[in-house]
């Protein structure tokens, strides 16, 4: 792979893996919205998208007319597309570094406080007063869970309230660090080292490849 291509592809991915590793190494669960989680992942693979689909289908006429500004337009289109998908998707919360049992216990007490008429059915619960129906989905291998909306009629304001109050409750919960955290951090450090060595050992080649790639 061309040196600049390697740095572009692995740079954002390295940052994403390091961030995920640090989150999972924490001794407290971390709550985020589904839209933010998807946007973060999209940024993590942005380098791969840039040297792959975007580079393959970039209009040559646009490169000739706008030069490197073409990449700004394509990057903006990519980000706006990701934001649009997040906005039209069902409400979702992602909780890292927690088991389904721990989340259900904490969520159960929170739901009882927020809506006295809440009704549980397995891992699903309906909160009639808040206009929310949700279900807990777990990923045991990564020790993370998702709280996913059930149905389309959801009160978005109360979903935001649920995220804030659940985050506050989980801040009081102590958990053991996820064993996969060290793997993610280690892999991120390896990738970061590869990128740094490429830049240090071949600075001129990297700059020439980057100029050629961006049509500077």
- Closest to 162 measured CA to CA, from 10, 7, 34: 34
The tokens describing 46, both together, are 């942005």
Strand arrangement, sheet containing 119-121: 30-33, 92-96, 144-149, 132-139, 124-127, 119-121
The tokens describing 158, both together, are 């109360």
The pLDDT value recorded for residue 146 is 93
Q: For tokens 């994403």, name the residue.
A: 16
30 and 137 together in one domain = no
- pTM value is 0.85
The pLDDT value recorded for residue 39 is 92
CATH of the domain at 143: 3.30.310
The tokens describing 214, both together, are 């961006």
Domain containing 140 equals: 91-173
- The end-to-end CA distance of the chain, in Å, is 20
156 and 190 together in one domain = no
Q: In which residue ranges of the chain is pLDDT below 70?
A: 1-2, 140-141, 215-216
The pLDDT value recorded for residue 140 is 67
2 and 82 together in one domain = yes
Contact 24, 180 (CB under 8 A): yes
The pLDDT value recorded for residue 5 is 82
Contact 96, 23 (CB under 8 A): yes
Contact 94, 137 (CB under 8 A): no
84 and 187 together in one domain = yes
148 and 200 together in one domain = no
83 and 107 together in one domain = no
H, E, C per residue of 87-128:
HHCCCEEEEECCCHHHHHHHHHHHHHHHCCCCEEECCEEEEC
Based on C-alpha coordinates, what's the Rg of the chain? 21
152 and 123 together in one domain = yes
Number of domains in the chain: 2
99 and 125 together in one domain = yes
The tokens describing 180, both together, are 């996969």
200 and 122 together in one domain = no
128 and 196 together in one domain = no
Q: What is the DSSP letter of 172?
A: T
26 and 67 together in one domain = yes
154 and 185 together in one domain = no
């Amino acid at each position: 792979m061309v040196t600049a291509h390697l740095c572009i592809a692995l740079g954002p991915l390295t940052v994403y893996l390091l961030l995920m590793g640090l989150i999972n190494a924490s001794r407290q669960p971390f709550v985020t919205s589904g839209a933010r989680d998807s946007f973060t992942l999209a940024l993590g693979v942005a380098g791969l998208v840039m040297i792959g689909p975007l580079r393959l289908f970039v209009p040559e006429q646009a490169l000739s007319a706008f030069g490197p500004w073409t990449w700004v337009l394509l990057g903006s289109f990519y980000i706006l597309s990701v934001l649009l998908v997040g906005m039209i998707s069902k409400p979702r919360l992602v909780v890292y570094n927690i088991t389904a049992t721990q989340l259900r216990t904490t969520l159960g007490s929170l739901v009882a406080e927020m809506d006295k008429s809440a009704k549980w059915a397995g891992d699903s619960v309906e909160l009639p007063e808040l206009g929310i129906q949700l279900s807990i989905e777990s990923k045991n291998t990564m020790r993370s869970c998702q709280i996913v909306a059930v149905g389309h009629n959801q009160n978005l304001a109360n979903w935001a309230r649920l995220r804030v109050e659940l985050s506050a409750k989980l801040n009081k919960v102590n958990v053991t660090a996820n064993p996969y955290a060290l793997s993610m951090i280690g892999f991120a450090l390896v990738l970061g080292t590869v990128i740094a060595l490429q830049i240090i050992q071949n600075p001129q080649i990297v700059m020439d490849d980057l100029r050629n790639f961006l049509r500077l």
